[in-house]
Structure 1
Amino acid sequence: MSKQKYTAAQRAENCVLDLEAAVYQAAMKPRGTLGGICETFGLTYNTAVLQVNPKRTCHTLSPLLIEQVLSATQSSLIMDAVCRAHGNAGWFLLPDENNQCDEMVDIALLGQKFADLNSTSLDAYADKVIEPDEYASMQKDGYALISHIQTILKNAERNMERNNGNA
């Protein structure tokens, strides 16, 4: 797989992006998303478009706009980018307390996420050279695996508390 370059769309789907690219993908790829964000938060659309465009240097992406895009889209791309920027962090969503979970399905999905990471890693190491896109793909699969492990643990904790009187 080395030496293969992803297109921008493939990179967004398969890799962990830098923060500016992640905000752009979250705000612009589902058509109309940025317009809805501007309407919700009272932003000027033209200014917001310039701010989220990573190719435009005349406007900078503000932390407030990043927060607003994240709040409106709940984009995993942005969270992955923040963890990548930190370098030693990961993130996960806690399962909704009201949702009933199927533990067996969660455990089966854990195996699938591990297989995804294993496959991506084996492809990347096939020629003994890790390219940036390959590493970003491994990172994305790794974050998904860690997130799923945390989901299983949180659901197990809730089950324990429910069935053992908040032990």
Structure 2
Amino acid sequence: MSTTIFTSAQRAAHCVLSLEQSVYHACKKERGTLGKIADIYGVNYNTLALQVNPNRSSHTLAPETIELVLEHTQSPLIMDAICCAHGNAGWFLLPDADNQCDEMVDIALLGQKFANLNSTSLDAYADKIIEADEYASMQKDGHALIGHIQTILENAKRNMERHNDR
């Protein structure tokens, strides 16, 4: 797989991106996102567009801008980038408190996420050379697996608390 080169859209779907790229993709995923952010938070649209464009060096991506984009889009791409920049961090979303979960479906999905990581890893190691895109793809699948494990554990904890309050 080392000879495969991802396009920008494929890289966003399969890999962990840099923070600048992840903010840009979060803003461009849905048409009109930048305009909505500018309207809601009262920032200048043109300045915002220049800040989130990773190909422009005239404006820098301020932490406040990252916060606005993350708050509005809830993009997992940004969270993946932040955790990878840290190096020893991971993230996951806990299920909603009123979430009606199906434990068997969650466990089945866990197996699927493990299979995804296994497949990605085997493809990456096939030629004994790990390229940057392959490693980023392995990271993304690994984070998804860890996040799903946390979801199962949180749902189990809520089930235990709900049934042991009697």
**Is TM > 0.5 for Structure 1 vs Structure 2?**
yes
Q: Distance in 1 between matches of 2:3 and 2:61?
A: 31
Trace 1:40-59 onto structure 2 (pairs within 5 A): 40-59=40-59
Q: Which runs of 5+ in 2 are unaligned?
A: none
Q: Counterpart of 2:15?
A: 15
Matched position secondary structure for 2:115: helix
Q: Counterpart of 1:129?
A: 129
Trace 1:1-167 onto structure 2 (pairs within 5 A): 1-165=1-165
State the Cα deviation string for residues 81-132 of structure 1 (Å, max 9, x = none).
Answer: 0001000110000000111100000000000000000000000000000000
Q: Distance in 2 between matches of 1:46 and 1:31?
A: 16
One-letter amino acid matched to 1:136: A
Q: Distance in 2 between matches of 1:133 and 1:26?
A: 19
Q: Distance in 2 between matches of 1:18 and 1:3?
A: 21
Q: Distance in 1 between matches of 2:115 and 2:43?
A: 43
One-letter amino acid matched to 2:57: T
Q: Distance in 2 between matches of 1:99 and 1:144?
A: 19
Q: Distance in 2 between matches of 1:99 and 1:93?
A: 13
Q: Which runs of 5+ in 1 are unaligned?
A: none
Deviation at 1:28, TM superposition (A): 1.8
Q: Distance in 2 between matches of 1:3 and 1:43?
A: 43
Runs of 4+ with >3 A deviation: none
Tell me the TM-score normalised to structure 2 length: 0.98
Q: Distance in 2 between matches of 1:147 and 1:19?
A: 20
Q: Distance in 2 between matches of 1:35 and 1:75?
A: 17
Q: Distance in 2 between matches of 1:61 and 1:155?
A: 37
Q: Distance in 1 between matches of 2:28 and 2:109?
A: 30
Matched position secondary structure for 1:105: helix
Deviation at 1:39, TM superposition (A): 0.5
Instruction: Report which stretch shifted further, 131-140 or 24-33.
Output: 24-33
Q: Distance in 1 between matches of 2:105 and 2:143?
A: 19
